[in-house]
């Protein structure tokens, strides 16, 4: 697209975003004044803004909704008990499904089929152990994977990947800066405990860490399709890395190291870095994680992080042994026949929830998506592989099915798929040229300029 041709698109996008921001502020203020409920006000503002954008330009809805996908405020009470991110993702998915360009690329179709295989495998657990949260979580898991892929595809396929990724990165960057600031104050006071970000909304350290991990991998790559200048990309990467150290999310640090190794060992991310240099860079982080684990194992506190995880994993396997094939049901730890603690390990969590049948579907989903991403053009697939591998490895040290830390990596993978579809799509033929060409005469070759 030429610079002249891109100006109307940029102007329309800026106008729509401005009006959406005005609507958000107005509805948020009115709702908060009437109900004195900030969460309700945010939800109402987001819904009104997305509805207005759907009327103005439906393809803008997934783009403008990107910052909401990292908001962890919970809505729905005890019945649904989902994050605002979940609600917005569910609403945006239908808009993206209806209005995103077609056809889907083979890579996206393959990942959606893999998601369907897991849904089918976990459906046995829903039927075998029926309770409300079990059924709700089955649909929830479908949206977190398949829905996030379609929404990300819609953002990348319409050529707005840079805008969408910048919006979500700015929100995550604010959270990371808050974590770094709190960590600096604690360090001056001699306090080296983990940081829990508090602004613009409170967030658990084990939620903030994986979010920082995924966006830091995005900031690490240097791709022409992302259009991020070095003055933005490089500081963002280091702030997010420091944010991970501040919150001391060990699983995020380990997953981050695995993602960086993928980027170092495989071409296609726009920069060259030797594996030895990468290993030297990640060595301090690995030593930090090992030292903290050793400290937990040698300490006298029976409720430290490592002991708590070990007990949770053991409890998950105990529940699985009582129903080995189909598990105790999704979210059995909240309202199932045997309430307990969500196992902090992907294998124990999936086995206890959906049994051996569900674990087989989960393995097909995760390993299959990595294989599909590996076979993509490295310019788009390498980042997707790093995001998936980092999430899979991090989940071996903490819970897997936790709202944002599932949907965000798959959302970013969907953007990679959409960008590939956008840049490899055949150029559209001008309707004016097509209608005025004499019958029987071939269409002239169209010249396109690089963006």
Instruction: Answer with the one of 48, 76, 99 that is the final residue of a domain.
Output: 99
Q: Are residues 201 and 57 in the same domain?
A: no
Q: Are residues 199 and 55 in the same domain?
A: no
Local confidence band at 275 (pLDDT 50, 70, 90 cut-offs): low
**pLDDT of residue 351 exceeding 50:** yes
Q: Are residues 83 and 111 in the same domain?
A: no
- ∠ CA 80-85-91 to the nearest 5 degrees? 80
So what's the pLDDT on residue 315?
85
Residue range 188-202: mean pLDDT, rounded:
88
Q: Are residues 18 and 140 in the same domain?
A: no
Count Cβ neighbours within 10 Å for each residue of 42-65 and write b for 16 or more, e otherwise.
bbbbbebbbebbbeebbbbbbbbb
Local confidence band at 39 (pLDDT 50, 70, 90 cut-offs): low
* Residue that the structure tokens 């107005």 belong to: 26
* pLDDT: which is higher, 105 or 40: 105
Could you report the per-residue pLDDT of 415-432, keeping only the tens digit for each?
999 999 998 877 654 444
Q: Are residues 259 and 299 in the same domain?
A: yes
Instruction: Answer with the one of 99, 116, 136 that is the final residue of a domain.
Output: 99
Establish whether the linkage from the previous residue to 85 is cis, with ω within 30° of 0. Answer: no
Q: Are residues 41 and 134 in the same domain?
A: no
Residue 199: name the closest of 329, 72, 361 by CA.
Answer: 72
Q: Which domain holds residue 229?
A: 105-423
Domain assignment of residue 242, yes or no: yes
Domain assignment of residue 428, yes or no: no
- Lowest average pLDDT, out of 71-85, 275-289, 330-344, goes to 275-289
The span from the CA of 440 to the CA of 75, in Å, is 61
Domain assignment of residue 300, yes or no: yes
Domain assignment of residue 9, yes or no: no
Residues 378, 118 contacting (CB under 8 angstroms): no
CA distance readout (Å), 378 to 45, 69, 291, 316, 381: 39, 26, 36, 38, 5
Which string of DSSP letters, residue by residue, matches 322-334? Answer: HSTTT-S-TTHHH
The span from the CA of 280 to the CA of 415, in Å, is 31
What SS3 class is residue 74? strand
Residue range 163-176: mean pLDDT, rounded:
94
Residue 48: name the closest of 97, 93, 88, 90 by CA.
Answer: 88
Domain assignment of residue 441, yes or no: no
The span from the CA of 322 to the CA of 319, in Å, is 6
Residues 111, 303 contacting (CB under 8 angstroms): no
Number of residues that this document lists for the chain: 451
- Lowest average pLDDT, out of 213-217, 286-290, 306-310, 351-355, goes to 286-290
**pLDDT of residue 283 exceeding 80:** no
Instruction: Answer with the one of 99, 134, 156 that is the final residue of a domain.
Output: 99
Q: Are residues 130 and 76 in the same domain?
A: no
**pLDDT of residue 121 exceeding 80:** yes
Domain assignment of residue 451, yes or no: no
* pLDDT: which is higher, 340 or 93: 93
User: Which percentage of the chain shows pLDDT scores above 70?
Assistant: 71
Which string of DSSP letters, residue by residue, matches 242-284? Answer: HHHHHHT-HHHHHHHHHHHHHHHHSS-SS----HHHHHHHHHH
The span from the CA of 308 to the CA of 208, in Å, is 20
CA distance readout (Å), 344 to 159, 348, 387, 403, 449: 38, 8, 20, 14, 51
The span from the CA of 138 to the CA of 131, in Å, is 11
Domain assignment of residue 3, yes or no: no
Domain assignment of residue 439, yes or no: no
**pLDDT of residue 183 exceeding 90:** yes
- Lowest average pLDDT, out of 11-15, 142-146, 165-169, goes to 11-15
Q: Are residues 119 and 84 in the same domain?
A: no
- Lowest average pLDDT, out of 132-136, 231-235, 270-274, 393-397, goes to 270-274
Local confidence band at 446 (pLDDT 50, 70, 90 cut-offs): very low
Q: Are residues 75 and 147 in the same domain?
A: no
Q: Are residues 86 and 110 in the same domain?
A: no
CA distance readout (Å), 427 to 93, 203, 424: 27, 44, 9
Q: Are residues 52 and 187 in the same domain?
A: no
**Could you tell me where the beta strands, DSSP code E, fall in 155-204?**
none
CA distance readout (Å), 375 to 76, 102, 111, 267: 40, 21, 12, 13
Number of separate domains in the chain = 2
Q: Are residues 267 and 130 in the same domain?
A: yes
């Amino acid at each position: 697209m030429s610079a002249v041709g891109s100006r109307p698109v940029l102007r329309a996008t800026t106008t729509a975003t401005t009006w959406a921001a005005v609507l958000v502020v107005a509805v948020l203020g009115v709702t908060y004044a009437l109900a004195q409920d900030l969460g309700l006000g945010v939800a109402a503002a987001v819904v009104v803004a997305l509805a207005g954008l759907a009327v103005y330009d439906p393809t803008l809805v997934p783009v403008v909704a990107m910052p909401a996908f990292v908001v962890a405020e919970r809505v729905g009470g005890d019945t649904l008990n989902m994050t605002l991110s979940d609600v917005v993702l569910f609403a945006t998915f239908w808009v993206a499904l209806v209005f995103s360009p077609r056809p889907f690329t083979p890579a996206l179709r393959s990942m959606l089929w893999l998601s369907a295989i897991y849904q089918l495998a976990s459906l046995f657990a829903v039927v075998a152990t029926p309770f409300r949260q079990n059924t709700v979580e089955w649909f929830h898991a479908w949206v977190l994977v398949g829905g996030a892929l379609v929404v990300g595809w819609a953002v990348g396929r319409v050529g707005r990947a840079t805008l969408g990724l910048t919006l979500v990165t700015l929100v995550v960057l604010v959270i990371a800066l808050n974590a770094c600031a709190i960590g600096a104050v604690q360090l001056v006071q001699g306090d080296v405990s983990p940081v829990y970000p508090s602004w613009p909304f409170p967030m658990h350290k084990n939620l903030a860490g994986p979010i920082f991990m995924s966006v830091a991998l995005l900031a690490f790559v240097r791709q022409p399709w992302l259009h991020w200048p070095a003055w933005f990309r490089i500081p963002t990467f280091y702030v997010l890395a420091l944010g991970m150290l501040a919150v001391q999310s060990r699983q995020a640090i380990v997953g981050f190291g695995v993602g960086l190794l993928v980027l170092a060992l495989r071409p296609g991310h726009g920069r060259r870095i030797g594996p030895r240099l990468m290993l030297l860079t990640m060595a301090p982080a690995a030593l930090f994680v090992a030292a903290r684990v050793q400290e937990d194992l040698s300490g006298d506190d029976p409720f430290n992080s490592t002991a708590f995880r070990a007990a949770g994993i053991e409890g998950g396997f105990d529940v699985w042994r009582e129903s080995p094939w189909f598990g105790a049901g999704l979210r059995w730890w909240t309202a199932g026949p045997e309430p307990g603690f969500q196992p902090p390990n992907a294998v124990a969590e999936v086995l206890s929830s959906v049994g051996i049948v569900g674990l087989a579907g989960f393995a097909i989903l995760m390993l299959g998506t990595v294989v599909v991403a590996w076979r993509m053009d490295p310019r788009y697939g390498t980042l997707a592989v790093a995001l998936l591998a980092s999430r899979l490895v991090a989940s071996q040290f903490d819970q897997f099915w936790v709202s944002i830390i599932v949907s965000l990596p798959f959302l970013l993978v969907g953007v990679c798929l959409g960008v590939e579809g956008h840049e490899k799509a055949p150029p559209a033929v001008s309707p004016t040229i097509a209608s005025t060409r004499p019958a029987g005469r071939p269409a002239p070759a169209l010249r396109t300029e690089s963006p």
